[in-house]
């Protein structure tokens, strides 16, 4: 007799289908809609982009220019991240020294701080007299807003912001990877006579290649999609993400969506193959190359010399990078808020002070309170809804044969540039599409769900793997627990850490998101969007205060994350 | 009526057949050990009885009821993992009372049963401790207590002593058996340790590559092994190849390599057949003179090993074959040194004769 095949866990089919259905409509549909929109409205796109009766194919040339600029910026930022991130990750993973956790936190900070606040801090630091310029006794900022870095032709300030915001992805991903590699390999290599640099090149780096790649991919995706800080520091240059925001607000929807889908497709074409490659377990990379004997000997000799004499450089330079890109801007902002409190310290005008701008005629304080309320409602609602979806989804991914496929699909909303996402949600659910909601709080929530679900799922899966959950559940079952008993009494309590971490990560992300929010928010302004508005209205002191407010808020969240992840 | 009955149970994982038409009955109150090398399908068999896996073919009966497709919580068979799977977020008390609580017994009964069983495994004082605060042996007892408290009649033990250190493992064997017997439970115990299986079980099932090789009492398994594999896996032996040269009333004569002839008392072989003769190391003696009634072969001592209370010689016979002999120190009149010439003796009735395996002798032995 052939018995019916029974799955290890009877998630009843209803739950599975409801979850998959919700996942499809709330997460996948918005992700893919933009691309299909371009095909569905191809005529409109053609007329607006290629055969415009007035400007011809000017829009198409704009798109190409912006895309090239964006990729140049992102690639150079990632290259910089790798050069300085690898040694820093190594130090964090292998050395113990006082202040290690503090350094870790500082590196992570840009992930937590809402980017528009962070972008504003960087702007103040480099380009105004309140920053480094004033500190050095100059009468202006150290660098002008549009000063270019030679060779790569990217504005300095934009580059700094993108490095700061992407650096944590490379460092933290690699740090985890290095930690997972048994230290005995290195010890063995050292006792066999290799210097520490040779060991690093021959042993650690090939084993850590998946970490290098996934860190680089995350950083690249982040840089490509970055909007909040970029809007503030971009000056005259335009990245792809902010072009989408601008065009969407000018109702050039066809151009915006065409470019959005181009951006998405190119990003996927670069990122997905890497993700798939990295996703296969036990990957390492040993490039089969043959070096001339003499060169090889010299390399080994140099590495020996460098390991002995130059190791300080490896310790100090990455620290300097973190210091200048993360710590100084924050200090400058905190310092400026105090100096600008009652009046502009340079002109002496009360109108330039924080108090006047907050409580004066423009009454930014009121807007800030409203924005805080909006942000918190959005963050709570989107995180809660995502949570309801992510918990069963994580179980499906772990328990069903098609779990791997779903997990790969989940990478897609994670790497979609957020302004493209915002546009997609607007077109899908907004007045032009299903007309489910007008731009405003509901649309923001729908947008945030798309990127919150993957964040929470990943964090639950991280807790799931290596927890031996299946064994505990099987054990509970043979002791008399039904599948639901087992999940309730055993699995969920064991996954509590992962679920909570996912909650906070998603909450933080939602609180800081700017790019997508800007497109779908209508009149319900969130705090990061408010900072952008303030900067555009030249209400510098109000922006200073709001940035400080955001930084403090995110520091509290960071402390919470620490507390939750440490207890184990 | 058997408590557990498996009929033609087959389980495949992709290309691999983990279990191949298993038929087995286990009586109420019996302690059965499933013994086999890694990858023999032992754990798969246990999981199928527990309901954690479903067979691809065949039927599983518990208490006469067909349980194919019945979920594990309705089988009254508790599965104990090698790592114990004590719930890390629950105390000892909560772990042990988990079954009763989940089955919604009344409060008084839960408390009574739990404290009784904790008393029995001598852990009443540690009832508020968390699993990670306990030693390996204590954790093992909690896992056992949790299984018993759930009211299950069948204990499915997957290498229950495997995670303990060697000394404790030996001590706990007898305790485990007496606990099961005292409670009137039925136990199916999976192990790859033949000594453990022989010592603890009422009946031993030898599993190899998904098939049952032999079922019997520990004594039967040891003294009447039915195959080269069982002989080699349980107890171990010397194996020599040869051809049947004569068949008589009292046994037969096997001609080994180099024309050497030995007497074996087993019959039922035909002349010219290629066979393998197995002699247990404990049945081989080493001396300076021939022993009457035994096979006596000249040889030279190649190595001497002291193993606690006994001594093991490896002797190179005149035809080039090597034979090992294990002799209790108390039975050894004198010890021989490497290079000494000796006579190796073993009685014909202690020789097992098997047909020569198709895949070759090494495959049968090395599969262990």
Q: B87 to chain A: which residues are within 8 Å by CB?
A: 472, 475-476, 490, 494
Instruction: Give me the percent of chain A exceeding a pLDDT of 70.
Output: 95
Confidence of residue A282 (pLDDT cuts 50, 70, 90): low
Please list every residue in chain B whose beta carbon sits closer than 8 Å to the beta carbon of residue A3: 54-56, 68-69
Q: Please report residues of B whose CB lies closer than 8 A to that of A567.
A: none
Q: Residue A469's closest chain B neighbor by CA? A: B85
Q: Which residue has the higher pLDDT, A12 or A464?
A: A464
Counting one residue from chain A and one from chain B, the pairs whose CB atoms sit within 8 A come to 85
* Band of residue B186 on the pLDDT scale cut at 50, 70, 90: very high
pLDDT of residue A518: 86
Question: In chain B, what residues touch A6 (CB-CB under 8 Å)?
Answer: 54, 69, 71
Q: Cβ B69–A3 below 8 Å, yes or no?
A: yes
Does some domain include residue A481?
yes
Q: Which residues of B touch A4 (CB under 8 A)?
A: 54, 69
Candidates B58, B78, B85; nearest CB to A471: B85
- The verdict on a CB contact (< 8 Å) between A472 and B72 is no
- A483: chain B residues, CB-CB within 8 Å: 71
Of the pLDDT bands very low, low, confident and very high (cuts 50, 70, 90), residue B270 is confident
Per-residue pLDDT tens digits for A218-273 = 899 889 888 888 888 887 788 888 888 888 888 888 888 888 888 888 888 887 78
Q: Mean pLDDT over residues B141-148, rounded?
A: 92
Q: Which ipTM score applies to this complex?
A: 0.81
Contact B75 A478 (CB under 8 A): yes
Name which residue leads in pLDDT, A561 or A544: A544
**What's A122's domain CATH number?**
1.10.3720.10
Pick the closest to residue A67 from A331, A263, A323, A308 (CA basis).
A263
Pairing, β B341-346 against β B285-287: antiparallel
Helical H segments across chain B, by residue range: 42-50, 92-96, 98-102, 107-120, 136-149, 166-182, 194-200, 218-223, 228-233, 361-366
Tell me the mean pLDDT in the region A3-11.
45
Q: Which of A56, A11, A2 is nearest to A402 (CA)?
A: A11
A327-384 residue pLDDT tens: 888 888 888 888 888 888 777 788 888 888 888 887 888 999 999 999 999 999 999 9
- Please report the beta strands in A131-204, taking only residues with DSSP state E, as ranges in sequence order: 148-149, 154-155
Chain A positions with Cβ closer than 8 Å to B: 1-6, 8, 10, 468, 471-472, 474-483, 485, 489-490, 493-494
Report the gap between the CA of B168 and the closest CA in chain A (Å).
24
pLDDT interval class at A567 (50, 70, 90): low
* pLDDT(A5) > 50: no
Please name the residues in contact with B258: beta carbons below 8 A apart, sequence gap of 6 or more.
B318, B319, B320
Strand B274-279 relative to strand B310-317, pairing: unpaired
Number of structural domains, chain A?
A: 1
Residues contacting B356, CB < 8 A, separation 6+: B241, B273, B274, B275, B276
Q: Is residue A375 one of the residues assigned to a domain?
A: yes
Residue A200 has pLDDT above 70, yes or no: yes
**pLDDT the model gives residue A377:** 94
Cβ neighbours of A357 (radius 10 Å): 25
Q: Nearest CA to CA, how far is B193 from chain A (Å)?
A: 23
- Residue A212 covered by a domain: yes
Question: Which of A8, A463, A475, A491 to substitute to test the interface with B, most B CBs within 10 Å?
Answer: A475
The predicted model gives A473-497 an average pLDDT of 90
Residue A250 has a pLDDT of 85
Q: Which of A468, A480, A492 to mutate to test the interface with B (most CBs of B within 10 A)?
A: A480
Closest chain A residue by Cα to residue B147 = A479
Q: Which of A94-103, A390-399, B307-316 has the lowest mean pLDDT?
A: A94-103
Using the predicted structure, report yes or no on whether residue B160 has a pLDDT greater than 50. yes
Please provide the DSSP assignment of B68-81 as one string. TT--GGGTTEEEE-
Subunit contact B152:A1, Cβ cutoff 8 A: no
Q: Contact A479/B99, CB-based, under 8 Å?
A: yes
Asked whether the beta carbons of residue B85 and residue A485 sit closer than 8 angstroms, the reply is: no
Say whether pLDDT at A146 is over 80.
no
Pair B300, B324: CB distance under 8 Å:
no
Tell me the three state secondary structure of residue A522: coil
Among partner residues B54, B58, B73, which is closest to A482 by beta-carbon distance? B73
Q: Are A189 and A158 in contact (CB under 8 A)?
A: no
The reported pLDDT for the residue numbered A197 is 85
For residue A84, tell me if it sits in a domain. Answer: yes
Contacts of residue A471 in chain B, CB cutoff 8 Å? 81, 83, 85
Alpha carbon of A481: minimum distance to chain B alpha carbons (Å): 6
| Shortest alpha-carbon distance between residue B44 and chain A (Å) | 14
**A485 CA: distance to closest CA in chain B (Å):** 8
Q: Is the pLDDT score of B354 beyond 50?
A: yes
> For the CA atoms of chain B, what is the radius of gyration?
25
Say yes or no to pLDDT of B96 above 90: yes
Contact B73 A480 (CB under 8 A): yes
Collapsing DSSP to helix, strand or coil, A223 comes out as helix
Q: Chain B interface residues facing chain A, Cβ-Cβ under 8 Å?
A: 50-52, 54-59, 68-69, 71-73, 75, 77-79, 81, 83, 85, 87-89, 98-99, 102-103, 146-147, 150-152, 156
**Residue A4 and residue B147: Cβ atoms within 8 Å?**
no
Mean of all residue pLDDT scores within chain B: 90
Cβ–Cβ below 8 Å for B102 and A4: no
Mean pLDDT of chain A: 84
In the predicted model, is pLDDT for residue A531 greater than 80?
A: yes
Which residues span the domain enclosing A76?
13-35+60-284+293-339+360-566
Q: Chain B: nearest CA to A568, how far in angstroms?
A: 11
Tell me whether residues B73 and A489 touch, CB distance under 8 A: no
Predicted local distance difference test score (pLDDT) of residue A10: 52
Does B87 contact A476 at a Cβ distance shorter than 8 Å? Answer: yes
Q: Do B83 and A485 touch (CB under 8 A)?
A: no
Whether B102 and A5 lie within 8 Å, measured CB to CB: no
Cross-chain Cβ contact A485/B58 below 8 Å? no
Contact B51 A478 (CB under 8 A): yes
CB nearest to A478's CB, from B55, B78, B88: B78
Which residue in chain B has the smallest CA separation from A477?
B73
Chain B hits for A10, Cβ within 8 Å: 71
Tell me whether residues A479 and B59 touch, CB distance under 8 A.
no
Q: What is the mean pLDDT of residues A413-425?
A: 84
Backbone region of residue B351 per phi and psi (left: phi > 0; alpha: psi in -120 to 50; beta: other values): beta
**Which positions in chain A touch B117 (Cβ < 8 Å)?**
none
Residues of B in contact with A474 (CB under 8 A): 50, 52, 72, 79, 81, 85
Q: Which residue of A has its CA nearest to B68?
A: A3
Q: For a pLDDT cut of 90, what percent of chain A falls above it?
A: 19
**Residue at A355 is within a domain:** no
- Look at A5 and B73 and tell me if their CB atoms are within 8 Å: no
B357 touches B228 (CB < 8 A):
yes
Closest by CA position to A498, among listed A449, A464, A522: A464
Alpha carbon distance B10, A273 (integer Å): 40
Q: Which residues of A touch B68 (CB under 8 A)?
A: 1, 3
In a domain, A3, yes or no: no
Question: Which residues from chain A sit within 8 angstroms of residue B98, using beta carbons?
Answer: 476, 479, 481, 489
- CB B318: neighbour CB atoms within 10 A? 13
C-alpha distance from residue A195 to each of A96, A186, B364 (Å): 20, 10, 49
Enumerate domains of chain B plus CATH numbers.
4-232 (3.40.50.300), 233-366 (2.40.50.140)
Give contacts of B144 with chain A, Cβ < 8 Å.
none
Which stretch of DSSP H or E encloses residue A176?
helix A156-180
How far away is chain A from the Cα of B103, in angstroms, using its nearest Cα? 6
Within-domain flag for A366: yes
| Nearest-by-CA chain B residue for A7 | B53
Cβ atoms within 10 Å, residue A536: 11
pLDDT at A458 over 60: yes
Residue A208 confidence (pLDDT) above 50? yes
DSSP structure class, residue A53: T
Residue A250 lies in a domain: yes
Distances (CA, A) of A321 to A266, A316, A554, B199: 30, 9, 21, 67
Q: What is the mean pLDDT of residues A14-38?
A: 88
The pLDDT tens digits for B273-289 are: 899 999 999 999 999 88
Element (H, E) at B190: strand B186-191
Contact state of B81 with A480 under an 8 Å Cβ cutoff:
no
């Amino acid at each position: 007799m052939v018995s019916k095949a029974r799955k290890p866990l009877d998630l009843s089919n209803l739950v599975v289908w409801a979850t998959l259905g919700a996942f499809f409509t709330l997460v996948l549909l918005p992700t893919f809609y933009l691309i299909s929109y371009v095909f569905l409205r191809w005529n409109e796109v053609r007329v607006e982009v290629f055969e415009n009766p007035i400007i011809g194919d000017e829009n198409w040339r704009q798109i190409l220019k912006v895309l090239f600029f964006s990729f140049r910026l992102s690639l150079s930022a990632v290259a910089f991240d790798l050069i300085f991130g690898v040694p820093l990750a190594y130090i964090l993973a292998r050395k113990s020294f006082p202040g290690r956790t503090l350094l870790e936190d500082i590196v992570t900070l840009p992930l937590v701080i809402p980017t528009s606040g962070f972008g504003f801090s960087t702007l103040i630091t480099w380009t105004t007299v309140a920053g480094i310029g004033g500190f050095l006794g100059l009468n202006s900022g150290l660098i002008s807003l549009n000063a270019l870095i030679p060779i790569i032709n990217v504005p300095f300030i934009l580059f700094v912001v993108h490095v700061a915001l992407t650096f944590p992805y490379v460092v933290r991903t690699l740090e985890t990877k290095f930690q997972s590699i048994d230290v005995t390999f290195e010890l063995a290599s050292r006792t066999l006579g290799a210097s520490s640099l040779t060991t690093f090149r021959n042993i650690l780096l090939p084993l850590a290649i998946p970490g290098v790649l996934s860190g680089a991919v995350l950083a690249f995706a982040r840089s490509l999609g970055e909007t909040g800080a970029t809007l503030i520091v971009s000056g005259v240059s335009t990245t792809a993400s902010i072009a989408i925001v601008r065009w969407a607000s000018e109702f050039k929807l066809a151009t915006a969506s065409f470019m959005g889908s181009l951006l998405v497709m190119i990003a996927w074409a670069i990122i997905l193959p890497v993700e798939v490659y990295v996703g296969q377990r036990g990957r390492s990379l040993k490039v089969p190359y043959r070096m001339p004997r003499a060169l090889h000997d010299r390399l080994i000799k140099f590495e020996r010399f460098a390991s002995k004499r130059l190791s300080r450089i490896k310790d100090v330079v990455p620290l300097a990078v973190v210091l200048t890109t993360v710590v100084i801007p924050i200090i400058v902002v905190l310092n400026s808020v105090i100096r600008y409190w009652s009046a502009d310290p340079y002109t002496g005008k009360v109108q330039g002070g924080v108090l006047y701008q907050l409580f004066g005629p423009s009454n930014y304080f009121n807007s800030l309170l409203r924005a805080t309320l909006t942000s918190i409602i959005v963050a709570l609602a989107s995180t809660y809804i995502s949570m309801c979806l992510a918990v069963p989804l994580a179980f499906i991914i772990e328990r069903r044969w098609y779990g791997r496929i779903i997990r790969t699909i989940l990478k897609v909303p994670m790497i979609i540039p957020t302004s493209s996402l915002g546009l997609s949600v607007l077109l899908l659910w907004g007045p032009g599409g299903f007309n489910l909601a007008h731009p405003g709080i509901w649309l923001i929530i729908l947008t945030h769900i798309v990127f919150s679900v993957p964040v929470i799922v990943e964090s639950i899966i991280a807790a799931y793997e290596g927890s031996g959950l299946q064994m505990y559940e099987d054990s509970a079952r043979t002791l008399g627990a039904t599948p639901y008993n087992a999940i309730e009494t055993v699995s969920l309590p064991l996954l509590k850490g992962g679920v909570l971490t996912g909650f906070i990560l998603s909450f933080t992300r939602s609180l800081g998101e700017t790019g997508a929010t800007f497109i779908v928010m209508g009149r319900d302004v969130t705090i990061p969007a408010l900072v952008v508005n303030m900067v555009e209205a030249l209400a510098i002191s109000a922006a200073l205060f709001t940035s400080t407010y955001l930084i403090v808020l995110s520091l509290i969240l960071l402390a919470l994350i620490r507390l939750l992840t440490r207890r184990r | 009526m058997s408590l557990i009955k498996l009929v033609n149970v087959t389980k495949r994982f992709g290309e691999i057949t983990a279990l191949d038409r298993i038929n087995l009955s286990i009586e109420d109150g019996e302690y059965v050990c499933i013994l086999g090398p890694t990858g023999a399908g032992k754990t798969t068999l246990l999981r199928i009885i527990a309901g954690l896996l479903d067979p691809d073919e065949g039927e599983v009966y518990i208490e006469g009821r067909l349980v194919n497709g019945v979920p594990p919580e309705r089988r009254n068979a508790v599965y104990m993992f090698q790592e114990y799977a004590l719930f890390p977020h629950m105390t000892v008390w909560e772990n042990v009372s988990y079954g009763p609580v989940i089955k919604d017994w009344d409060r008084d009964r839960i408390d009574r049963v739990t404290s009784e069983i904790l008393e029995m495994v001598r852990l009443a004082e540690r009832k508020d401790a968390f699993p990670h605060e306990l030693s390996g042996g204590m954790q093992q007892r909690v896992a056992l207590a949790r299984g018993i408290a759930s009211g299950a009649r069948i204990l499915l033990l997957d290498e229950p002593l495997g995670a303990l250190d060697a000394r404790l493992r030996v001590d706990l064997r007898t305790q485990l058996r007496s606990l099961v017997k005292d409670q009137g439970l039925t136990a199916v115990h999976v192990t790859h340790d033949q000594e453990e299986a022989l010592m603890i079980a009422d009946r031993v099932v030898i599993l190899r590559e998904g098939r049952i090789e032999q079922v019997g009492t520990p004594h039967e398994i040891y003294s009447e092994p039915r195959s080269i594999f069982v002989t080699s896996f349980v107890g171990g032996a010397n194996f020599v190849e040869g051809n049947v040269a004569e068949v008589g009333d009292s046994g037969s004569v096997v001609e080994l390599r180099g024309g050497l002839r030995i007497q074996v008392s087993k019959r039922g072989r035909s002349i010219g057949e290629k066979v393998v003769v197995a002699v247990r190391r404990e049945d081989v003696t080493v001396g300076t003179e021939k022993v009457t009634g035994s096979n006596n072969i000249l040889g030279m001592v190649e190595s001497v090993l002291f193993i606690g209370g006994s001594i093991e010689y490896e002797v190179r016979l005149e035809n080039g074959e090597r034979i090992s002999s294990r002799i209790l120190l108390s039975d050894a009149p004198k010890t021989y040194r490497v290079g000494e010439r000796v006579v190796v003796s073993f009685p014909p009735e202690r020789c097992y004769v098997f047909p020569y395996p198709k895949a070759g002798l090494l495959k049968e032995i090395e599969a262990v």
